[in-house]
């Protein structure tokens, strides 16, 4: 038998310090790589989802280094906690930000000069002061860790001008290594971070953005916040965050939830610092279950058992969405991320961005478009998020989103509709974009359609009964499913092999219903020759605005006034009780549902379709969407008395 003398394995100083100081026996993915590079003095760019454990990547190497590490972070509110936490573990650390008194600042400065600290946390605005630069030089710095590093990039979703000063770090401290950390960085932002900070051959480490315990879903919102309130009420006593666009929405929704018995609190930048701290602390301490917030809430939230993150409206970008939903389920247990959206959110953000008019407005509008496309898409939501951040996706299904789990309602005639669309693409030679295919399908004999003889092909007017907007949205959905492919600048549509299988009826396609954005469907005549699109080509709702600015639909004939007959009076009573029922559900006065005048018009004209309902004064698309169908059903169910 052979014997071998084996020396004990060399102790890994990184694992050792982590075990001793933090008590962790395992490292999370990429932590060891990040720490090893940092230990070796190599620049790093670490992209890890929220909760991935980025802090440890700079804290552990800092303990092993001779010279201190300066951590730049915009999260002033968290610095004290971080320092307290480290101090409790025996790690000498301090922070410098505007919250300190002059005396405290002097004390920390003295400590830095005496080399007392391993870690010094500073806010980016410190770098505006020449004295601070001098202090760093005098104290010496071994490494800079730049947290939330995407804030340095104009291409990111959270640009901060203070971060731009960090571009001088390299030149002023050529001996110090630089380490950038972020949870959200697309490949373009990543490159920009590396360029702005002048990173030297950085080790770029990108974590896994797939979080299978998060179940993603997107639902088109009905009237007001009723859907959201119902969803939150169903999550009794679970921890959750509900994001809104505006402060007023936060106040309204928080009040409605409280009235519905939910232990909820609102949080937005309009509250005093004290009030915000109180709300955040109560949530962290599990005294509050649900926070209703604007984007101002959440950076650095230290609660791992968040069971749901709902968006009551569309967020501004996929970066925001990913970061906000990333706060759910950090303990690894299942959590729901449901996005309640409506086209009006898109319009709202668009006007906010345009009003702000920043130099990167067009970039922001582009991000907004991507977000809307995400919400209305029929492709795996995890895949979309993961690939958005530049990661490969090799799974066939995520089993953790509404699309992959089959929760997205498909139209019963989806395959036939898809076949019509794809055959229009085929019969026009796979040479045109969505706008043109839409024209052909609705039978719009524009000059260009006639010139190419496409008004003579069998698919011309094959979808005469559908608004072009719906067809455009379905084209996007087919592309999302990989049945159509868009090519080049003009989004020329081509049929993919999977698309051919649908065309040959070998497999089915799925299409989601497309709801009305703002106004009623238009009559056929209003479709012709409307102004061009204002959105980027190929983007789903492109035709919305162009169509909305087109000629108006013909007006409904005026409803004759006068006394109601017996049937109409009977129906009116039933309509009124339905109105009461809905008003109770909404916790709103009855007139908010429909006015008496509108109900009388319904009773008199007895509409039989959505179009006829929408012609009644007081029935807008929003109300139609929210509860119109219930009134229409009631009208159909209410018999008229047989006449002698
Ligand atoms: P991030 O900054 O990436 O959002 P944090 O650094 O705040 O994440 O880490 C999230 C949580 O995970 C913290 O509570 C941290 O202590 C914990 N953590 C980090 N690394 C490990 C590890 N290797 N083992 C166990 N827990 C860890």
CB of 427 closer than 6 angstroms to any ligand 1 atom = no
Residue 49 pLDDT:
81
* 27 CB near ligand 1 (under 6 Å): yes
Same domain (yes/no): 182, 328: no
- Which is more confident, 223 or 615? 615
Residue 407 lies in a domain: no
Atom number in ligand 1 closest to CA 50: 4
Q: How far apart are CA 218 and CA 515, in angstroms?
A: 14
Neighbour-count burial of 199, counting CB atoms closer than 10 A to its CB (0-12 exposed, 13-18 middle, 19+ buried) = buried
Q: Whose alpha carbon is nearest atom 20 of ligand 1?
A: 53
Can you give the pLDDT at residue 537?
27
Comparing 94-98, 196-200, 639-643, the range with the smallest average pLDDT is 639-643
The last residue of a domain, from among 171, 206, 241: 206
Chosen domain end from 161, 180, 206: 206
- Tell me, yes or no, whether 461 lies in a domain: yes
Answer whether 360's CB lies under 8 Å from 307's CB. no
pLDDT 10s digits, 129-181: 888 999 999 989 999 999 999 999 877 667 788 898 999 999 999 999 999 99
The reply to whether 189 and 256 lie within a common domain is no
Ligand 1 atom showing the smallest separation from residue 18 Cα: 23
CA dihedral sign, ordered 22, 24, 30, 34 = positive
**Distance of CA 60 from the midpoint of ligand 1 (Å):** 12
The reply to whether 51 and 166 lie within a common domain is: yes
CA of 112 to the centre of ligand 1 (A): 27
**Domain containing residue 535: CATH number:** 1.10.150.80
pLDDT attached to residue 299: 65
Rounded distance from Cα 10 to ligand 1 centre (Å): 26
Residue nearest to atom 24 of ligand 1 (CA): 24
Query: Which ligand 1 atom lies nearest to the CA of residue 28?
Result: 23
Say whether both 304 and 200 belong to one domain.
Answer: no
Helix boundaries (H) for 260-342: 273-284, 318-325
Extended strands (E) in 58-142: 69-72, 93-96, 119-122
Query: Based on the domain organization, do 437 and 457 belong to the same domain?
Result: yes
| Residue 520 belongs to a domain | no
Dihedral sign of CA atoms 189, 59, 170, 174 in order: negative
- The predicted structure's pLDDT at residue 531: 27
Of all residues in the chain, the percent with pLDDT exceeding 90 is 52
Mutation test residue for ligand 1: of 53, 119, 180, 209, the one with most atoms within 8 Å of CB: 53
Question: By residue range, what is the domain housing residue 73?
Answer: 13-206
524 part of a folded domain:
no
C-beta of 32 in contact with ligand 1 (< 6 A): no
The CB of 82 under 6 Å from ligand 1? The reply is: no
Residues 107-120 pLDDT 10s? 999 999 999 999 99
In a domain, 626, yes or no: yes
Using most ligand atoms within 8 A of CB, pick from 56, 72, 78 the residue to mutate for ligand 1.
56
- On the question of pLDDT at 3 being above 50, the answer is no
Structural domain count of the chain: 4
CATH of the domain at 223: 3.40.50.300
**pLDDT more than 70, % of the chain:** 89
At residue 428 the predicted structure's pLDDT band, cuts being 50, 70 and 90, is very high
Residue whose Cα lies nearest atom 18 of ligand 1: it is 53
304 domain-assigned = yes
Q: How far apart are CA 205 and CA 45, in angstroms?
A: 6
Give 340-377 pLDDT, tens digit per residue. Answer: 998 889 989 999 999 888 777 888 898 998 899 899 88
Cα 56 to ligand 1 centre (Å) = 7
For residue 51, report the distance from its CA to the centre of ligand 1, in Å: 6
pLDDT tens-digit profile of 585-617? 887 777 778 888 889 889 989 998 888 898 888
| Residue closest by Cα to atom 5 of ligand 1 | 53
**pLDDT band, very low/low/confident/very high, at 34 (cuts 50, 70, 90):** very high
Kindly state whether residue 509 falls inside one of the protein's structural domains.
Answer: no
Instruction: State the SS3 of 156-203.
Output: CCCCCHHHHHHHHHHHHCCCCEEEEEECCCCHHHHHHHHHHCCCCCCE
Residue nearest to atom 12 of ligand 1 (CA): 53
Q: Tens of pLDDT along 569-585?
A: 889 889 988 988 888 88
Residues 549 and 431 in one domain: no
Compute the distance from residue 323 Cα to the ligand 1 centre, in Å: 16
Q: pTM higher than 0.85 for the full model? A: no
Instruction: Encode pLDDT of 486-517 as tens digits.
Output: 998 888 999 999 999 999 988 888 898 876 54
Domain match, 149 and 232 both:
no
Q: Is the CB of 326 under 6 A from ligand 1?
A: no
| Pair (189, 55) in one structural domain | yes
Ligand 1 neighbour 622 (Cβ under 6 A): no
Same domain, yes or no: 330 and 423: no
| Claim to verify: residue 578 and residue 608 sit in the same structural domain | yes
| Ligand 1 neighbourhood includes 426 CB (under 6 angstroms) | no
Residue nearest to atom 26 of ligand 1 (CA): 24
Give the pLDDT band of residue 561 (cuts 50, 70, 90): low
Label residue 8 by pLDDT band (50, 70, 90).
low
Q: What is the pLDDT of residue 637?
A: 85
Last residue of a domain, one of 185, 206, 227: 206
**Which pLDDT does position 518 carry in this prediction?**
44
Closest Cα to atom 15 of ligand 1: 53
Residues 421 and 364 both lie in one domain: no
d(CA 612, CA 573): 20
Rounded to the nearest angstrom, the distance between the alpha carbon of 61 and the centre of ligand 1 is: 15
Ligand 1 closest atom vs CA 48: 3
Specify the range with the lowest mean pLDDT, choosing from 311-315, 410-414, 637-641: 637-641
Measured distance CA(422)–CA(427) in Å, rounded: 9
Contact 24 CB / ligand 1 (< 6 Å): yes
Find the mean pLDDT for residues 411-426.
93
Q: With 50 as the cut, is the pLDDT of residue 378 above it?
A: yes
User: Would you call 405 helix, strand, or coil by DSSP?
Assistant: coil
Report if residue 3 sits inside a domain.
no
> How far does the centroid of ligand 1 lie from the alpha carbon of residue 470, in Å?
45
Question: Where residue 641 falls among pLDDT bands split at 50, 70, 90?
Answer: low
Are 286 and 423 members of one domain? no
């Amino acid at each position: 038998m052979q014997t071998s003398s084996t020396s004990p394995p060399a102790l890994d100083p990184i694992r050792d310090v982590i075990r001793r100081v933090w008590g962790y026996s395992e490292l999370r993915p990429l932590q060891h790589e990040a720490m090893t590079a940092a230990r070796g003095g190599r620049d790093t760019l670490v992209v890890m989802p929220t909760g991935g454990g980025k802090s440890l990547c700079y804290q552990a190497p800092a303990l092993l280094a001779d010279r201190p590490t300066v951590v730049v972070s915009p999260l002033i509110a968290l610095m004290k906690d971080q320092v307290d936490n480290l101090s409790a573990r025996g790690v000498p650390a301090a922070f410098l930000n505007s919250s300190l008194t002059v005396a405290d600042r002097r004390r920390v400065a003295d400590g830095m000069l005496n080399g007392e600290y391993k870690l010094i946390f500073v806010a980016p605005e410190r770098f505006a002061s020449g004295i601070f630069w001098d202090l760093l030089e005098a104290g010496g710095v071994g490494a800079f860790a730049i947290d939330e590093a995407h804030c340095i990039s104009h291409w990111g979703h959270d640009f901060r001008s203070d971060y731009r000063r960090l571009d001088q770090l390299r030149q002023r401290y050529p001996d110090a290594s630089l380490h950038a950390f972020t949870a959200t960085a697309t490949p373009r932002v990543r490159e920009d971070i590396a360029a702005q900070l002048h990173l030297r051959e950085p080790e770029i480490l990108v974590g896994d953005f797939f979080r299978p315990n998060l179940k993603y879903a997107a639902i088109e919102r009905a009237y007001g916040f009723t859907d959201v309130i119902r969803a939150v009420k169903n999550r009794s006593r679970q921890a959750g965050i509900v994001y809104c666009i505006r402060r007023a929405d936060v106040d309204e929704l928080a009040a409605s939830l409280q009235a519905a018995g939910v232990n909820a609190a609102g949080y937005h930048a309009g509250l005093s610092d004290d009030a915000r701290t109180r709300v955040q602390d109560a949530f962290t301490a599990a005294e509050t279950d649900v926070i209703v917030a604007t984007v101002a809430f959440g950076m650095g939230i230290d609660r791992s058992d968040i069971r749901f993150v709902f968006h009551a409206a569309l967020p501004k970008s996929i970066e925001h969405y990913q970061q906000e939903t990333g706060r759910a389920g950090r303990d690894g247990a299942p959590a729901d991320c449901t996005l309640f959206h409506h086209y009006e959110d898109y319009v709202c953000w668009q006007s906010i961005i345009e009003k702000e008019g920043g130099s990167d407005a067009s970039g922001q509008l582009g991000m907004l478009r991507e977000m809307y496309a995400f919400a209305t898409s029929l492709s795996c939501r995890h895949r979309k998020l993961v690939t958005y951040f530049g990661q490969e996706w090799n799974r066939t299904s995520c089993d953790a989103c509404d699309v992959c789990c089959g929760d997205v309602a498909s139209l019963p005639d989806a395959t036939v509709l898809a076949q019509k669309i794809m055959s229009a693409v085929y019969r026009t030679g796979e040479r045109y974009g969505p706008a043109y295919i839409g024209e052909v399908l609705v039978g719009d004999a524009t000059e260009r359609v006639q010139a190419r003889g496409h008004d003579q092909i069998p698919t011309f007017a094959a979808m005469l009964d559908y608004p072009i907007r719906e067809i455009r949205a379905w084209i996007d959905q087919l592309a999302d499913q990989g049945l159509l492919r868009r090519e080049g600048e003009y989004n020329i549509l081509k049929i993919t092999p999977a698309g051919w299988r649908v065309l040959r009826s070998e497999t089915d396609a799925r299409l989601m219903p497309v709801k009305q954005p703002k106004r009623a469907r238009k009559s056929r005549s209003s479709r012709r020759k409307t102004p061009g699109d204002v959105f980027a080509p190929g983007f789903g709702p492109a035709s919305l605005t162009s169509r909305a600015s087109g000629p108006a639909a013909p007006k409904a004939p005026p409803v004759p006034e006068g006394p109601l007959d017996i049937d109409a009076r009977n129906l009116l009573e039933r309509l009124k009780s339905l109105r009461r029922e809905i008003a109770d559900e909404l916790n709103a006065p009855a007139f908010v549902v429909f006015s008496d005048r509108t109900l009388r018009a319904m009773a008199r004209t007895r509409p039989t379709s959505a179009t006829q309902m929408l012609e009644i004064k007081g029935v807008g698309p929003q109300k139609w969407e929210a509860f119109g169908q219930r009134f229409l059903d009631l009208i159909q169910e209410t018999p008229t008395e047989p006449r002698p």
